[in-house]
Chains A and B, each alone.
Chain A
């Protein structure tokens, strides 16, 4: 018993010491803890106020066939209403009944008999649950959006003919009016807003605890400007800039042109937002190479030239040095990349259509975040590089992994899990898409594409094959911060500081 008490006291002492050592970051840690609590509350809110598994209710339906009378029933009472929360699995545009429906036909999948009075109504598919909406939702809601919908269980009788027999269908079905549908983001924004405020407050209070913060920021900017001046004029960067500018501009032009091409062509691009997402990939493909190329030997070079010791002896912290370098190198790649993006996108718009404004902004802003992330990620290796060989291997390895090998990795894992990769359109297989999107969160290039894809929509309430929109934004923030923190930690360990 005494031993246990002693161990507990020792644990408390250690925890206390650790907590004290994190004095600067205490407000941020408290803020993150609050955010986690709020996120749990958020989940609990949806779980308690809505039915988050609509397909479960749908699967409870029972069709009993009694000679010429069929009964379609649910385990609920007629008149009951439930608020469902789920993803629009199909686009309302293609689920709206038009005049071309064959009346008098029973659709088992939708659980009703087609009739003229369905014209102009929409059969929503919410996570596999069918809900008939008394209105045309074309252009109001889109596929993959997360909605909340209050539906009522109604009962009606309809008639249809099957194999020469007249069948009476007494059906129960879920119906809603257009005003009963809302985007989940209507509520999510309150939670996200509060979470962002808490995070911002935590950050602000933590930063305020850093002594001489303004001076450190000034020094980081001083190093960044210096890196920019040195890097942008380097032969390596001139070659890389020319290469990626040509590539991005060329791809922009091509993607614009493909929008007006043959719809049956493999290379047809359906809409400007899709084209923008593809341009993101091509931007990542070449710009990441430049980002890795300029940052991979940044510390090795300084070690070799003995300039690092001169820098470390100045009144600046290790964190300031890493942050300054990361910012500077981001500017070195980011400025020419931005110019290339502007030209590429202009050509794409000129030869094709205009993507959404939010998508365009995301293309530029998230592009810079992606460059910063790749640079911080590469700095982690740059800190550890001991020779020129290490530098080349780390740099090339990382670029190949993220830009080239990643797809092969997705195919390999899909194959292992049992996805039939020989099937036609296997890329539309939900299981394959889920693997691709989940693995994509581990690749800054995919996160960039997801983020631009997400922000081309009007809402954050989007589900990207199992990845909710907010998670993409979280990944967009966490990737650079984690890489920056990791590179700083490694630098401090290497430099024994």
Chain B
């Protein structure tokens, strides 16, 4: 296995409230969190509200210092080489904060000033990024006239100015309209295809499912699961699915036949006038057997609807288990 680009080892972090220099309250945000992200991955970071996603991202970007544990990016420890690490990280926060009176060019000039980029090169890069992200026409408008989507794109441009090795995004699609989400997704996929490693946290599971190569699920500051997304999808495919049927002419004999078939479970049976609603739990491969059997027994099938297990089900299941623990 290749060495991960980003690695967290037993990271612990507490938020403290002080009064007159004394700690009066503390809250554990990260509890021995360990995870790793390989080069070239798009890593989706999932977790319910308050799970510790944003805290993890703040620790990764050096906005917060963790209390204990180690964070390595490109083999460098953030505790001792924060300066070098921040030079290879691009960061897009959930709440984009930009100086409203500046134009996009001025914004990029300001943020670009913190990297060793000469003025001419910075200007060229800024122009190129604004063009790529569809902001070239707005280059001289003050940022406070921008929509949220435009602000996010500008913040993304500021995160990409110094050509980072890893791009960290905290809830990148929050507040964006579907067109904005789609545009951002295509930008991220494009960047990833050029070799950029991306770590993003999100509540939108479909988004994770759609663009991420790997997923990590976090709850109560602990990593519950970290997996390649294709493995999770395989797993999902292997698990039972739910099949909803609306039929007419179903008798007790038919039900007995279904019940006796190995791998099929009748979850619910509801009678609505002349029709019966059936909810079955079964392996996907048994669906043809069910339909064939019912048709051969002269049962009329009015509708059939398979309900596949999604990443959301995995996420909910995993987080529920961890909460019960």
Q: A309-B93, A310-B93, A310-B158 are in contact. Are A493 and B18 (CB under 8 A)?
A: yes
Task: Please tell me if the beta carbons of B83 and A212 are within 8 angstroms of each other in the complex.
Answer: yes
Known: A219-B113, A315-B115, A316-B114. A306 touches B93 (CB 8 A): yes
Contact B98 A307 (CB under 8 A): yes
A-B contact pairs, 18 of them (CB 8 A): A212-B83, A230-B99, A307-B98, A308-B97, A309-B58, A309-B63, A309-B97, A310-B91, A310-B93, A310-B98, A310-B155, A310-B158, A313-B86, A313-B89, A314-B115, A315-B87, A497-B63, A497-B64
User: Judging by beta carbons under 8 Å apart, are B113 and A222 in contact?
Assistant: yes
Question: A458-497: which have CB < 8 Å to B?
Answer: 493, 495-497
Q: Is A426 an interface residue (CB 8 A)?
A: no
Which are the 3 A-B pairs with shortest beta-carbon distances?
A306-B97, A307-B97, A315-B86
Chain A contact residues: helix, strand, loop or mixed: helix
B103 at the binding interface (Cβ < 8 Å): no
- Residues of B at under 8 Å CB distance from A? 15, 18, 58, 61-65, 82-84, 86-87, 89, 91, 93, 95-101, 110-111, 113-116, 155, 158
Please state if A495 and B97 are interface contacts (CB–CB under 8 Å).
no
Shortest CB distance A240–B (Å): 19
Q: Does A305 contact B (CB under 8 A)?
A: yes
In the assembled complex, the Cα of A178 lies from the Cα of B64 at a distance in Å of 67
B265 to chain A, nearest CB (A): 50
Known: A313-B91, A497-B62. 14 other contacts (CB 8 A): A222-B114, A230-B99, A302-B97, A305-B98, A306-B93, A307-B97, A310-B91, A310-B96, A310-B97, A310-B158, A313-B62, A315-B87, A316-B114, A497-B63
Contact status A313-B155, CB under 8 Å: no
Rounded to whole Å, the gap between the CB of B63 and the closest CB of chain A is 4
Chain B, residue nearest A316 (CB): B114
* Complex contacts, A313 vs chain B, CB 8 Å: 61-63, 86, 89, 91, 93
Q: Among residues 281 to 319 in chain A, which have CB atoms less than 8 Å away from a CB atom of chain B?
A: 302, 305-310, 312-317
Residue of B nearest to A211 (CB): B83
Q: Is A215 an interface residue (CB 8 A)?
A: yes
A-side contacts of B113, CB under 8 Å? 219, 222
Chain B neighbourhood of A219, CB < 8 A: 113-114
A211 to chain B, nearest CB (A): 7
Given contacts A308-B97, A315-B115, contact A496 B83 (CB under 8 A): no
Give Cα distance in the complex from A315 to B97, angstroms.
17
Q: Which residues of A contact B84 (CB under 8 A)?
A: 315
Closest chain A residue, CB of each to CB of B170: A309
Question: Taking A310-B97, A310-B158, A314-B86 as contacts, is the C-beta distance between A226 and B110 under 8 angstroms?
Answer: yes
Docked CA distance A307–B83 (Å): 19
Note all chain A residues with C-beta closer than 8 A to B114.
219, 222, 314-316
Cα(A310)–Cα(B62), bound, Å: 11
Query: Do A495 and B64 contact each other (CB < 8 Å), given the known contacts A226-B110, A310-B98, A316-B114?
Result: yes
Q: Which residues of B contact A310 (CB under 8 A)?
A: 91, 93, 96-98, 111, 155, 158
